[in-house]
Every structure is written in structure tokens, then in C-alpha cells.
Amino acid sequence: MKLHELTIKETAQGLKSGEFSALDVCKDYLGRIKELNKDIFAYLSVDEKGALKQAEEADGLISKGKAGILTGMPSAIKDNIMVCGLKCTSASKILENYVAPYDATVIKKLKEKKAVFLGKANMDEFAMGSSTENSAFGVTKNPRDLSRVPGGSSGGSAAAVASNMAVFALGSDTGGSIRLPAAFCGVVGLKPTYGAVSRYGLTAFASSLDQIGPLAKTVEDAKIVFEVISGKDPMDSTSVDSPAGAKEFDLKKIKVGIPKEYFIKGIDAKIEEEIRSAIKKYEDMGVKVEEISLPHTDYALAAYYIINPSEASANLARFDGIRYGYSAGGKDLLDLYMETKGKGFGPEVRRRIMLGTYALSSGYYDAYYLRAQKVRTLIKKDFEKAFEKVDAIFTPTSPIFPFKIGEKASDPLSMYLVDIYTVSVNLVGVPALTFPIAKVGNLPVGLQIIGKPFGESTLFNLGNAFPGN
């Protein structure tokens, strides 16, 4: 087995026993990146020097017997998360030369464990998209089939893990951006409970929806990373310490809900078949499965695509050509704003700013933004009611298989539809895990398990119980 094929757990064992060093591991991954990144383009930038130095430091810690489980683990970090001294572009021209002046809290926590940062991962510009085609610097390809998209917006993070160019990655999930690419690339992804992980140092997109989370090769590895990055942070007032998960876990005591509104026209028949057979496997292990209803599901995408652009339009106002990044100049202030934003932002970002500004404008606020927030409350109540009866909800992660590069690029509405199973989770703030359950041809199918607020431990336990995990 090659070093880059190992999981976190296996790598940690080898490091501890002295079978190989963190420097060996780091060099192996850097070699892999040299070989594959030109085709897959998972990384926007690679910090070879920094990574080698961090690996040496990790070896120092290991030799003193002070290593933690993430010591020396080579990672890919989505390019909207700040790593001090490295470029942080959010895959936008407007931040093309922006260098992070401080570490995001998640990075600080990983640095304390002496994890290794190989580089910054490609993404849809400002995390807006489901395919990574909206990156200003080029599209990432799906390692399972290079003619297809890796999903988005954390497509670079997912592709890096799927192609063994990183042992784990961090992504961000506002409406599915960790889970969709994880499902498309056949890796594990976790969207934590809103507030479980600090957002300090994450480029704000839609602040009431955004969460940072791990992408990894196994459920166990995702859990390891989550436990390191989560927790209350004084720099993010929405963050909290997760209450400790239940110590005992008995599959036979678990009740799972299958929302009837999720198996509708539009879902690929092969995906439905695989999801149903995965559910059957859980039933065979003693899990109780029952049909539930989430009656406002039909309105989730519409509410999301009002609330998300509204928050985005407010957050992106800071990129004005004066305070951050690229500036186009101009004959006066208004001209400078217009030129900078017109040239610095790509079409999807401009679309969201316009949609959001419209939805928030006086006269339309009540009809769009306020109404969408009311719908959000109804969707939240649907989930609360469901969780009175069940411990977790099983759904497909995506209604379709990874599509061909270019197939949906000119049709934003059909792109938005791909998020049908993921956006409610963000509107409600609950956690959700996706992991691969099957392959059809080369293409993976992901099962999404949605949990109660701070129910991550149940998700990990359920994920680990799946045959083969």
C-alpha cells in the first residue's frame, strides 16, 4: 500500500510505530500532486516549502512522543478559509492576490496538532455553485471520470481527497457544498450543526447558513477531524461547545425516518434503487425504519435561493475595490465601484448580488425576504416534528449523478435544482453526513444521514455501521 492510499487512522499508526516519517508522507503526497493536479486541478495553490517544514515539525513532536492523531496529516484547505501567509482567493479575481493576514480558528486548531497544509483547494467563486465551474481560475475535474464535474462548491477539496492528493480536506457548506462534492467524488463529508464549528476566518457567504466541515476517506476520519475543529470560539459568537454525545449506541434502538417527499420525479432511478437497498441493509441490522413527512420540502429551494442571495449581497458589499483585493480604478468613486465589481466578480456572483439586493429592497422585502424567512420557520418545524419520532433521517445526497462539464453551466436554474436534498439542512441548522454506499459504473452514490442538532455522534455511529465502512 502506498502512503497516499492510507487513511488518517492508518497513517497515524505508521507514524507512531516509526514505519515512516511525517516527512515521507508529505513528500509522497507532494509527488502525487505533481503527477495529478495538472489534470484534476483540485489545488489552486500548493505550499511545498511550508508543508515540508510543517512535516519536519510534526516529526519532532512524534519523536518526543507528543503526537496527536492529526500530527503530520497532509490536508487540502478550501480557498475561502484563511491560512496565515497563504493566498486566500475564494476562487475570485477580486481576491486574486489577497494573502490571509491571520489563521481561521479551524486552522489554528489544526496547527496546534501539527497537521500539514499542502495547499488551497479550488471552489466555485465565493462558494456559489454546485460544480466548481464557477471558479475564476478553471474547473476541477471529477477524479472518478475526468469528463464530469466534481460537484461544488468544495469541488477541489473533494477531488483532492478522492484522488489521494490529501488525506483529508476542509470545505464549507452553505447549501450542500461539502455534501454534494463528497457524494459526486465518492468520499465522506460532514456538514456540522450550525454553531458547532467556528466560522472565524471563513470568507462570509450567507452567514446564517455557512458551516466549515471535513471531507475524508472514511467516516472515522471525518469524525477525527470534526472533533479537532469543533468547539466554542470567542471570535465567533454563534459558536458553541457541542454537548457530549450519548455514550451508548445500539443500532436496534435507532429509528430512522424516510421522508416521502424526497422520492419524487426527477431523482435518477438508479440512485433511488441504491438508496433503498442501503436502507434495507440498515433494516437488516435491526434499525427501525418508518416513512415520515416533511411537508414544506417543496418550498425549500425557493426559500434558500432568496435567503442565500440576500445574505450574500450584504456580505459581498465589502469587496468594493478599496478595502480588499483587486481595484479597477475609475474617474470617481461610483465609477470605481462599478468597474471593480463588474470586472472582479464572475456572472454567478453578480447574479446573487442582484437577486439579493432586489429581495432586500424596500417594497420587496416583505414579499420575498420576510416570506422566505417564514417558510424557513415552517421547514424547521417540519424537522422538529420529525425528530420527535425518529433519531435520524435518510435521504439521497444528490438526485443525479455527476454531470458532464459544461452540461448545466449556462442554466442556473437546473444547477440550483441539484441542491434539492441538501439546502433544508442548512435552513434548519442541523448536521448531515454523506458517505458512498455504492457505485454505478464508475460513479458513486452518496447516502445522506441528517441528525438532530448536535447529533453528530449518532451520524458517525450510523455511518460506521454501514457494511464496508
Catalytic residues: 78, 153, 177
Name residues contacting ligand GLN, limited to 70-89 (CB under 6 A): none
Are the C-beta atoms of residues 157 and 215 closer than 8 Å to each other?
yes
Instruction: Give the angle subtended at the CA of 97 by the CAs of 96 and 98, to the nearest 5°.
Output: 100
Of 29 and 205, the one with the shorter C-beta distance to ligand GLN is 205
Q: Minimum Å distance from CB 212 to ligand GLN?
A: 11
Distance of alpha carbon 182 from alpha carbon 190, whole angstroms: 9
Of 47 and 173, the one with the shorter C-beta distance to ligand GLN is 173
Name residues contacting ligand GLN, limited to 196-235 (CB under 6 A): 205
Of 426 and 461, the one with the shorter C-beta distance to ligand GLN is 426
Q: Minimum Å distance from CB 233 to ligand GLN?
A: 21
Among 143, 419, 436, 461, the residue binding ligand GLN under the rule CB under 6 A is 419
175 lines the binding site for ligand GLN (CB under 6 A): yes
Q: Pairing relation of β-strands 443-451 and 432-440?
A: antiparallel
Q: Give the H/E segment covering residue 159.
A: helix 155-162
Instruction: Give the angle subtended at the CA of 167 by the CAs of 89 and 232, to the nearest 5°.
Output: 65
Q: Which residue is nearest to ligand GLN (CB)?
A: 177
Q: Minimum Å distance from CB 260 to ligand GLN?
A: 24
455 lines the binding site for ligand GLN (CB under 6 A): no
174 lines the binding site for ligand GLN (CB under 6 A): yes
Distance of alpha carbon 446 from alpha carbon 290, whole angstroms: 20
130 lines the binding site for ligand GLN (CB under 6 A): yes
151 lines the binding site for ligand GLN (CB under 6 A): no
Which x/- pattern, by CB under 6 A, does the window 307-326 give for ligand GLN? -x------------------
Among 11, 71, 142, 177, the residue binding ligand GLN under the rule CB under 6 A is 177
* Residue bearing cell 488525506: 167
**Three-class HEC string of 276-326:** HHHHHHHHHCCCEEEEECCCCHHHHHHHHHHHHHHHHHHHHHHCCCCCCCC
Residue 130 DSSP class: S
Instruction: Give the angle subtended at the CA of 34 by the CAs of 33 and 37, to the nearest 5°.
Output: 55
SS3 assignment, position 397: coil
Of 171 and 257, the one with the shorter C-beta distance to ligand GLN is 171
Of 33 and 359, the one with the shorter C-beta distance to ligand GLN is 359
Are the C-beta atoms of residues 197 and 212 closer than 8 Å to each other?
yes
242 lines the binding site for ligand GLN (CB under 6 A): no
Distance of alpha carbon 53 from alpha carbon 241, whole angstroms: 32
Q: Minimum Å distance from CB 43 to ligand GLN?
A: 19
128 lines the binding site for ligand GLN (CB under 6 A): yes
Q: Phi and psi of 442, rounded to 5°?
A: -90, -10
Distance of alpha carbon 9 from alpha carbon 469, whole angstroms: 13
Q: What's the Cα-to-Cα distance from 284 to each of 126, 429, 465, rounded to whole Å?
A: 43, 30, 12
173 lines the binding site for ligand GLN (CB under 6 A): yes
129 lines the binding site for ligand GLN (CB under 6 A): yes
Stretch that binds ligand GLN, among 103-111, 123-131, 290-298, 356-364 (CB under 6 A): 123-131
C-alpha cell at 355: 437577486
Q: What's the Cα-to-Cα distance from 222 to each of 173, 214, 358, 460, rounded to whole Å?
A: 15, 6, 39, 8
Stretch that binds ligand GLN, among 54-62, 171-179, 390-398, 453-461 (CB under 6 A): 171-179
192 lines the binding site for ligand GLN (CB under 6 A): no
Which x/- pattern, by CB under 6 A, does the window 26-55 give for ligand GLN? ------------------------------
Of 370 and 417, the one with the shorter C-beta distance to ligand GLN is 417
Among 119, 143, 176, 346, the residue binding ligand GLN under the rule CB under 6 A is 176
Binding site for ligand GLN (CB under 6 A): 127-130, 153, 173-177, 205, 308, 419
